[in-house]
Structure 1
């Protein structure tokens, strides 16, 4: 297996390649393995699934950890030679970084991969790089970058679901003229700008941008010029202070009728419904292009399941992976999480997602652009700053400069 140490050696992560694992065997013959999750949102779902797994496998005990700032915690643990047995992590640059370092088990020969939609395997492969043909994680749950809308308000305003950018702007104008808040922004928290950024860039910027950028053949200044313009255009349809409300408060206000549209991921929907179970919601892909047929749904690997290469209990860890891949279990996960499955035949049937179901059925999907940005770029903070200052040229040049700094460390 190739091990690429650039960018990892300085952090000491490569020392984790020689560890013996953090799991243990009890005196009663029961083996304990750890499941590390980067999402606090799925904590209750995992607890329920672990109970089921332990009933089926009484000789294996699973301990769940889902700390805040999970990626930072995981990297710190790697430095301390403390790698979890099983990891449930996002399909982003950190996954690619750790996979290249040899931290993860290679699933290339696993039958589990036969169940996975090819597009999601390709996304994980791109994160690792074309020079390595290993498959170091099982795409499990996927997400969607959507426009969530209040069905009642859309019907009252006689708005047809927009298929193009101009139609979307016209819908926002209609909402504004009726005295409604067109878009519910929650930009007090920097990360909430990213669903908007990704929703536009996913169809507007070439998927080859990260590779070309690393080769010095592309820049944010050129490739993201229209993306920046469109983001600024959308700001005009928010609150007087788009940065005065955060994610949780924004979910609550949208649930209770403030806003016609909300550009967020499917992950926000359970929180919105928790605040108001009676609100009627729909979703559609952000139509960032004026060519309707080019407006694919931005989707990515929200949860990849993987196993430590050097765990002392690989058989038990892989048994847990196989359990998670069972159709009934995979269906239970996406139903509880309002998510989508990377597995063929495991379908999200909630009518809220009727407007994007066709994208999954026809594989009209494109990846999250920021999943391919280098770890450490802190794009969300730079983009939030851009939206506050509205200085497009400076912001895009800063993104270029910071990207170059990160990859040249």
Structure 2
């Protein structure tokens, strides 16, 4: 389905030469109107504030924010219809890759706005789109981490683990103390992804998906270690792991139901809503037994792209320059509890202190699921794995589904 849609968009745009209707950009008061389409509903208010600031500084430009439900489906439909917004903000995953291949976005490979962006993140966008050129500017990034209850760690005399064996030993000690090491929420299938992503990213090998594309490897080979380690983590969960959803987990962890929570940093604001006084921290998953070897799985949560059909490239570029100004990035990452993809801009929230060093030196790698087509159903297959614990069947199914999608 996804590949078919991508091909449909490619052919439609190739035939039209991307000369679509787009936003006419005319308003009755003589202002230039541009559309900013972005996919993060939780960031709408933050962007409303930034847009208001931009319009005050640029009184002849009107920015209209679009943030529809099921935004990626809406955007793909608009690409196919050649009705593109002027500026787009989406995640750096396979959906971005599909759209980038159609020529919908401007090439920013040599743009001055890219020179201060962490190279690790621009590489991720090239890799996921399978393009040599860059079709988006990484803006904010998120990360998978082990979120831990500092108070509970102190009470149990635990230190932050540096290796896989130490990690499992910490889980054992928590269990021996009669407490729950990890809280899982597999009623929402996607919540299996954070921990699995880290296991896979740090064990699959650097070129796994390139080799998979060429038929030179399989999930059965490349993801066996990740699957085994993921199943090991499940031994330290709680009863009814498949009956709890993401929101349940945020509240439960906030109230002390477990020592650790295997989620992304995006969960922290929700946890703090449930318990503003919780003393929590984060640390990188230690996947191997070599201290400091494991990379933090950190991907482009939001990229900014100027569309190639905009009738107002000067105004669209001005808006991009505004959003990428240091003070405005700081406003965004503070509100969204994210990290900046731009060098030198630090997330000041002490709760994510444990990840700063890894991100600052670029010891990061992308989310493996960004390279897996939706039709493969990775999160659904993981949900099944959490129930039947059958690693061999799980890996075999992934290989079968990958081949089906590839052959479409």
TM over 0.5: yes
1: CA distance, partners of 2:3 / 2:71: 22
- In the TM superposition, 1:5-404 aligns within 5 A as 7-8=4-5, 10-12=7-9, 14-16=11-13, 17-129=18-130, 132-404=131-403
Using the TM superposition, name which of 334-343 and 53-62 deviates more: 53-62
2: CA distance, partners of 1:151 / 1:68: 37
Q: CA deviation at 1:76?
A: 2.1
User: Alpha-carbon deviations, 1:177-211, whole Å to 9, x = none?
Assistant: 11211101111101111101111111111131111
On the 8 A contact 1:383/1:395 being kept in 2, the answer is yes
Q: CA deviation at 1:10?
A: 4.6
Where 1:148 maps in the other structure, the secondary structure is strand
On the 8 A contact 1:15/1:79 being kept in 2, the answer is yes
Where 2:322 maps in the other structure, the secondary structure is helix
On the 8 A contact 1:339/1:348 being kept in 2, the answer is yes
1: CA distance, partners of 2:110 / 2:24: 24
Where 2:241 maps in the other structure, the secondary structure is coil
2: CA distance, partners of 1:75 / 1:55: 32
Where 2:68 maps in the other structure, the secondary structure is coil
Using the TM superposition, name which of 182-191 and 353-362 deviates more: 353-362
2: CA distance, partners of 1:66 / 1:147: 31
Using the TM superposition, name which of 167-176 and 307-316 deviates more: 307-316
On the 8 A contact 1:255/1:276 being kept in 2, the answer is yes
Query: Number of aligned pairs?
Result: 403
RMSD: 1.6
Where 1:18 maps in the other structure, the secondary structure is coil
On the 8 A contact 2:186/2:241 being kept in 1, the answer is yes
1: CA distance, partners of 2:39 / 2:83: 16
CA 1:315–1:375: 2 relative to 1, 3 Å: farther
1: CA distance, partners of 2:368 / 2:252: 29
CA 1:337–1:221: 2 relative to 1, 3 Å: same
Q: CA deviation at 1:278?
A: 0.5
Structure 1: which 4+ aligned runs deviate by more than 3 Å? 5-14
Task: Note the residue ranges of structure 1 that are not aligned, 5 or more in a row.
Answer: none
CA 1:10–1:293: 2 relative to 1, 3 Å: closer
Q: CA deviation at 1:403?
A: 1.2
On the 8 A contact 2:6/2:98 being kept in 1, the answer is no
2: CA distance, partners of 1:149 / 1:155: 11
Where 1:11 maps in the other structure, the secondary structure is helix
1: CA distance, partners of 2:180 / 2:69: 33
Where 1:196 maps in the other structure, the secondary structure is helix
Where 1:32 maps in the other structure, the secondary structure is strand
Give the TM-score, by structure 2 length.
Answer: 0.95
On the 8 A contact 2:118/2:362 being kept in 1, the answer is no
Q: CA deviation at 1:23?
A: 4.8
Using the TM superposition, name which of 34-43 and 342-351 deviates more: 34-43
Using the TM superposition, name which of 258-267 and 376-385 deviates more: 376-385
CA 1:297–1:188: 2 relative to 1, 3 Å: same
1: CA distance, partners of 2:103 / 2:7: 16
2: CA distance, partners of 1:178 / 1:204: 31
On the 8 A contact 2:161/2:167 being kept in 1, the answer is yes
On the 8 A contact 2:33/2:64 being kept in 1, the answer is yes
On the 8 A contact 1:296/1:366 being kept in 2, the answer is yes
Q: CA deviation at 1:164?
A: 0.9
Give the TM-score, by structure 1 length.
Answer: 0.95
2: CA distance, partners of 1:247 / 1:211: 32
Where 2:299 maps in the other structure, the secondary structure is strand
2: CA distance, partners of 1:44 / 1:238: 36
